[in-house]
Amino acid sequence: MSAPLVRILVAEDDRAVRSALHVNLEKAGYETTLVVSAEEALDRLQGRSYDVLLTDVRMPGMDGLALLQEVRRRWPHTVVLVMTGYGNVEDAVAAMKSGAEDYLIKPVTKAELLMVLERALESRALRDEVSSLRREMETRFGFAHIVGTTEPMQRVYSLIHAVASTHALVLLQGETGTGKELVARAIHQASARRDAPFVRVNCAALPDTLLESELFGHEKGAFTGAIRNQPGRFDQAQGGTLLLDEIGDLSPAVQVKLLHVLENGEYQRLGGRETLRADVRVIAATNKDLRQEVHGGRFRKDLFYRLDVFTIRIPPLRERRDDIPALVEHFLARFSARDERPPPRIAPRAMQRLMAHPWPGNVRELEHVLERAVILAASGEIVDVDLQEAPGGAPSIGPATEGLSLPDHLRAVEHRLVLEALVQAGGVQARAARRLGISRSNLSYRLKKLGIAGSPEGGLDAEGESRD
């Protein structure tokens, strides 16, 4: 193996051994520096970086084991190999426990030296690759999915960095649609628990009788229909992170049991007697003001204080409007990639309306609006958006109607109804026509009359297959 860029520092007090190592390493193409003591090795390491430290264990003054420990603490990326005499194998064992990559027994042969060195360098290269992939995964599943550069979001990023490396409970507070789950996942990905499961439970989605079993699991026969032992979410999240979403909706009975787990780290499955340990980091999320819930008697004060260790407030979109253009770009790119089409342009008027909208549904509402816009932007441009609330609270897309004459108002209403039918039908015109109670040819006529992009000659057929 020829590695001219690999720098090796050799710490050996025996002149003959030192000389032999130097000759063998230089002939193999390694850049080699020789020192006679651990103290001198530390001086050299302070002055420049080395890829490998090859050190004897028994040396006057600081020995090789103490040198190893200091190097692991100060220069953790340096590979350390230790050499010891035949009768001192216990030194090699101690060195491996202290973080040495490998060891060599004296007298060291050239073949063994080069084999151990090559193996150590390959091991380091593999670790570097894993670290690189991990950073990429953190980018993909961590902050990369949280879009925003405004001051409120910078505060959120700072708090994520501060708490991620700890084991502290985290309470995420924010309105519906602000991205609390994304923040929880970012904390998990930036923590030491990143390789273990991330498990989410929606505390508002299940009745009490099912939620307790969902959280803690149950034993066979615990209730009617419990035909087998069933692990709970605390079991599934062992070693990892458990997100308790909408924790403000927990009933008093479940709040008591959750408090016990958080206080003591112990729980029992429903119908079980065995006490289990919970090695789980808990992140709680809520769109409610838990202090007000405590004052109203709906949330236990002791549980609130246990959860309120480190609170991160996720700002609503109206407090960070300058992030809207970046969010628009992010969502347009995502939906266009999903649908395998170029991202549409967004007209200035449409962007102005997006910037001015109050966004009661926050980022989630913006996401849904843009998803519909991408579906309907057959011309390659989003010309306008109507952000009035449609029936059922869902934002719709189409022209605004305020201040229009009666004919124009009726046309705008027809425009909106046709667009909403297309959206609900996933862009399939035959399905949209059935929703509207008209024929497909009638829908085709109305699309042309209203100037809506996408006519029967393009778009999707009745089975949803592209005919372009």
What is the pLDDT at residue 413?
Answer: 67
Rounded CA gap, 223 and 464, in Å? 45
Label residue 412 by pLDDT band (50, 70, 90): low
Residue type, 321: R
Read off the pLDDT of each residue in 23-46 and give the average, rounded to a whole number.
93
The pLDDT tens digits of the residues spanning 155-178 come to 998 899 899 989 999 999 999 999
Residue 12 has pLDDT above 90, yes or no: yes
Name every residue whose Cβ is closer than 8 Å to that of residue 283 and which is 6 or more positions away in sequence. 169, 170, 171, 172, 184, 187, 188, 241, 242, 243, 244
Average pLDDT over residues 321-329: 90
Concatenate the DSSP letters of all residues of 409-431 into one string. HHHHHHHHHHHHHHHHTTTBHHH
410 confidence band (pLDDT: 50, 70, 90) = low
pLDDT of residue 144: 56
Residue 409 has pLDDT above 70, yes or no: no
State yes or no: pLDDT of 54 exceeds 80: yes
Phi, psi of 199 (to 5 degrees): -120, 135
Of the listed ranges 130-139, 140-149, 351-360, the one predicted with least confidence: 130-139
Domains of the chain, CATH where assigned: 7-135 (3.40.50.2300), 143-315 (3.40.50.300), 318-450 (1.10.8.60)
Per-residue pLDDT at 467: 34
Contacts of 383 (CB under 8 A, 6+ apart): 347, 349, 350
Query: pLDDT tens across 89-124, in order?
Result: 778 888 887 888 888 988 899 999 999 999 888 877
Q: What is the pLDDT of residues 363-408, one digit of tens each?
A: 999 998 888 888 887 667 888 775 654 333 444 444 444 444 555 5
Residue 16, both tokens = 């003959």
> Considering the chain, what percentage of its residues have pLDDT values greater than 90?
38
Mean pLDDT, all residues of the chain: 82
CA 167 to each of CA 162, 192, 193, 211, 234: distance values in angstroms, whole numbers, following the listed order = 11, 9, 9, 25, 16
Q: What is the pLDDT of residue 135?
A: 55
Range in 4-8, 105-109, 118-122, 250-254 with the lowest mean pLDDT: 4-8
Instruction: Pick the range with the lowest mean pLDDT from 85-89, 155-159, 280-284, 349-353.
Output: 85-89
Which of the pair, 380 or 82, is modelled with greater confidence? 82
Residues 157, 143 contacting (CB under 8 angstroms): yes
Lowest mean pLDDT among 135-144, 193-202, 317-326: 135-144
Residue type, 65: L
Q: How far is CA 401 from CA 320, 411, 415, in A?
A: 28, 9, 10
Q: Give 2's pLDDT tier (boundaries 50, 70, 90).
A: very low
pLDDT at residue 458 above 60?
no
